[in-house]
A and B are shown apart, each in its own frame.
Chain A
Amino acid sequence: MTSMTTAELERQQAEMGFDDGASHLLEVSMGPQHPSTHGVFRMDVVLDGERIVKLKPVFGYLHRNHEKIAESETYLGSMPYTDRLDYLCSLTNNWGYALAVERLAGITVPERAEYLRVIVAELTRLQNHACLIGFLLQDMGASGTPLMYAFRERETILDLFESLTGARMMCNYLRFGGCRVDATPEWLRQAQQAVEAFPKFLDEYEQLLTGNEILVARTQGVGLLPKDMAVQAGITGPTLRASGINYDVRKVDGYGIYDRFAFRVPLGEHGDVFDRYMIRLLEMRESIAILRQALREIPAGPVQDARTKLRGFRPKPGEAYARIESPKGELGFYLVSDGSANPYRYRVRPPSLINLTVLEEMCLGRNVADVVVTLGSIDIVMGEVDR
């Protein structure tokens, strides 16, 4: 029972003998100012009592013309705009874009810059997943506590970002051909400290949440996403892996220097909200393993390719697609150059938007409260959905 208009559903109900003059179906607009919708997102929900009969995601409230702006902007000028796609993970967005430009122009990145990229990207993953779990619990009604603990840990990582890049969220740190500034030994030491302190937080967090009977009751068997549907709908990231598909762009592509790191890809079994929650926790532990390795092995050297000039950058005509494993899924940038200073075409493949497309299938037949939890477990940021 996928897409049927409300009128059709009512007619069907009337045929089944429910025709007592009053409609059993109620059409509710959840959002765009609903606190559970993670931004300005709206769901047209048709309800039979508490049960979801139909759900239509409506987005576009945060559309900022990102792709068209990038086409009138220089290659360097687009970099700060990519921060604003998924505003929780600006550094991985930077990396996706930088990688696309590097493929387009054939730029090589110095070794130290590659390590720094891995370090900042994995720190981004840590803070994104910690926040996501906090928000998921907030959506379930655990008001405050898990979210505040997650924000406390996020704060240490944001302080690291600020002392390296100058900004907490809109970092604008990566450049094609390297990174903007070098990390001081002091910064690397602080990063090491933050990384070493993180597993303790994870242990506490797991003790606080994972065994909690209410959390288990609210998440197990909720928002089921079967394997084949996840593949057909092009779902990526932790949402896909929670359904049991072993697909991580870090492993598949080995972009950057990810092929040098030993880490495992955690997989779920059932594809429900609980699996998605656990995948995030396990991924954070793997990120810590990558970070430890990267902080140990980081070599000395330059952080910016000296032959790449950022101002007046004009790549040869051509096209390039680069994808990375952002904390939300596969983030892709497609660039077409006509040899001028602006890209001829610039396209983003946003993981949040594509992961959102199966929301109806995950929610049909469940309660309204389960919709909120399911949406929270997909991990969307409206800045990236609407662009």
Chain B
Amino acid sequence: MLGKGIVLGLAETARNFFGSFFYRARLTTVQFPEERLPQIEAARNFPFLVFDGADWQQGMRCVACQICEKECPPKCILIEKSKDKKPDATGKPQFYPAVFNIDVSVCMSCQICVEVCPFDAIKMDVDFELSTYDRFGGLLWDKQRLSKSNEHYHQIHPTEAAAVDAALAAEREKLAAKARAANAPPANAAPSTSAPATAEGQA
């Protein structure tokens, strides 16, 4: 019968329309700005620099090794290495980035900087509401804008952050054990023995 297919199709549409009042599976939209879906834990959107402790300059994990700058596919990272060294979270003197800029208008959130970073210093954020009126300055983020605390990292990616902290603590423990075993001179021993304490403090 001509028209049977159309009627069956309309029945399907009606089923979906009325079903949307009763079944969550048929009503998939949410009223976005007021109502939000839970953030998926693995989500990623633009990198940030992790710092330990309270002070972003003091606790910054980045040691300006510039690996991410070289590996970044669209080359959106600019790093200038510092001339001097300053102590990192464990007290060991390290270089630090004098300039660390990410042009987020170029960044494509591919996560390769995170994968290649040997110091777990750069991680992916989840913030996506980043509109700005200033398309040049507002999208070129300096190191202060990029710095976010380890607590923030724990908040957005709890599982991953716990694994990273455990790995870092284990590494420091190993270094400390090595220093103790070698019966190192006091100059070296001082920062290494303080390391496990710092690691516990963060976790």
Contacts and interface: CB of A to CB of B under 8 A. Distances in A.
A311 interface: yes
Interface in B1-25: 2-6, 8-9, 11-13, 15-16, 25
Interface in A115-169: 145, 149, 152, 155, 159, 162-167
Contacts of B124: 166
Interface string A311-341: 1000000000000000000000000000000
Interface stretch (A36-44, A211-219, A349-357, A366-374): A211-219
Given A145-B13, A152-B28, A209-B9, A163 B110 contact: no
Nearest to B42: A166
A81 interface: yes
Interface stretch (A55-63, A70-78, A228-236): A70-78
A214 B12 CA distance: 16
Interface stretch (B84-92, B111-119, B133-141): B111-119
A257 interface: no
A32 interface: no
Contacts of B2: 213
Contact of B43 (A149, A166, A172, A212): A166
Contacts of B108: 80, 170
Contact of B6 (A80, A149, A155, A212): A212
A212 B5 contact: yes
Contacts of B109: 167, 170
Contacts of A162: 40, 42-43
B12 A78 contact: no
Interface residues of A, number: 38
Contacts of B71: 74, 76-77, 311
Given A211-B4, A213-B2, A310-B115, A80 B73 contact: yes
Interface centre among A79, A164, A165, A212 (most CB of B within 10 A): A212
B8 A163 contact: no
B44 interface: yes
Interface in A201-227: 204, 207-216
A83 B6 CA distance: 39
B41 interface: yes
A180 B5 contact: no
A213 B3 CA distance: 6
Interface in A181-219: 181, 197, 204, 207-216
Interface string B75-119: 000000000000000000000000000000000111110011000
Contacts of A211: 4-5, 8-9
B162 to A, nearest CB: 14
A166 B112 contact: no
Q: Which 6 A-B pairs have the closest CB atoms?
A: A211-B5, A80-B110, A77-B73, A166-B44, A208-B12, A212-B5
